[in-house]
Amino acid sequence: MPLFILGQAFHEGLASVPLLPSLLKVVPWLFVLYVLKIYFSGATNKSEAKLHGKVVLVTGGTSGVGEAVVRELATAGAQIVLLTQHALNDPFLVDHIDDLRNDTNNHLITAEQVELASLHSVRTFATKWIDNSPPRRLDMIVLCANTMTASKGIKSTVEGVELNWQVNYLANFHLLSILSPALRAQPPDRDVRVIFGTCSSYLGGDLLHITSKGYAAAKAKKAPSATVEKSPTTFSPGNAYATSKLALTVFALAFQKHLSAYERPDKMPSTTHVVLVDPGYCRTPGMRRWLTWGSLFGLAVYLITYPFWWLVLKSPNMGAQSFLHAVMDSDYGRGEGGKLLKECKARTYLRKEVEDEAVQKHLWDYSEQMVQEAEKRGALERAKLKRDEKEKVEEVEAEAELRDYKEKVGKKAGVKQEGSRRSRKS
């Protein structure tokens, strides 16, 4: 049939073949769209590695890029521990893990409830993990969890921390600070990696409220936190996300130095390497929420313009390629660590303060102080809630005792009960 059509077109002209002229006009545009889609999809991971027996902690692994990363790691044989905000008996989580196990033929996928918006929850999990002798095996930590709130106002956690800062940065700082002994205790022949999910928006972040001279002077004089909070800053709800990503990038490099500075009992060099990964812009639930601003009108506009977003945004699976390259490529398991990876290639940092040791130290000290203050506020809030619950229970018990007493004496507000002796006599 194709040969017949080609022969007819050759002998009788293109116009003799039905729809061929129109098809020839459409094909170049389809080819252009195909090329653009390949370009916007980004690079593909070419490295391969067997991950059988490796234990990997993953945050943000139930949706978006994190879910795609987990699926590929599980397919490669890794033992996955999902750190998720969902309760372990949540039907969604149970079904999700069952589907992952069946799809990847890997039943070494479990979950632990860790609410990144709660420092208390992070501490509870991390201390339970390291409170083990001998130390539990830990080959990799992949930090994919991410949130972005609207710029209409500042949202805070129960512990009084801005939500973007808490989930995107401070929870990771708290988690790794506690787990660092577990990372350093791994055998010297083990390739251990900590992979941070970052974003190019860190270029628009601002840490003036931490690194300014006013803050440094206040810290030197041990000024109260109220004085520190008045230090110069351009922090706002609009740039809260970018600031949290900048802080995460600075901390990642500081954490690599923290691990490398540890002197192992066996005198071997540190085997833990930090890698930062920028997956690019992807069609994830978080990106959709940001594009629509969480409104029905925005969602309608997004659906109408979806072909455009399908073209220019990566799929979650393509966004996961740089993460997989950081996991599997042998180059990131040796050397100094602290490399930035984008499109499966090492990149340079475009902000000088990211590699500034003074900035890293200021951020570390500030974060430790913030964690201490936030945990105190959280402890007070939990104590208050526990006290309120206890008072409510006591009130209910008192009402029940009073009701039982009135039933026994046969009186209730001066009125004889139906079961009393006088009512039966009448």
Give the span between the Cα atoms of 72 and 324, in whole angstroms: 8
Burial class (CB in 10 A: 0-12, 13-18, 19+), 106: buried
Give the span between the Cα atoms of 208 and 198, in whole angstroms: 20
Burial class (CB in 10 A: 0-12, 13-18, 19+), 420: middle
- Buried b / exposed e across 2-26, counting CB within 10 Å, b at 16+? eeeeeeeeeeeeeeebeeeeeeeee
DSSP letter string, 196-227: EE--GGGGG---HHHHSHHHHHHHHTT--HHH
CA distances (Å), origin 137, targets 53, 122, 194, 259: 10, 19, 14, 17
Q: Which of 245, 392, 411, 416 is catalytic?
A: 245
Which residue from 333, 184, 187, 183 is spatially nearest to 262, judged by alpha carbons? Answer: 184
Does residue 126 contact residue 175 with C-beta atoms inside 8 Å?
yes
Phi, psi of 314 (to 5 degrees): -75, 155
DSSP letter string, 300-329: HHHHHTHHHHHHHSBPHHHHTHHHHHHHH-
Specify the DSSP element, H or E, that contains 142: strand 140-143
Specify the DSSP element, H or E, that contains 67: helix 64-75
Give the span between the Cα atoms of 186 and 200, in whole angstroms: 32
Among this protein's residues, is 221 annotated catalytic? Answer: no
Q: Strand pairing of 192-197 and 415-416?
A: unpaired
Which amino acid, residue 80?
A: I
Give strand pairing partners of 194: 141, 274
Which residues carry out catalysis? 245
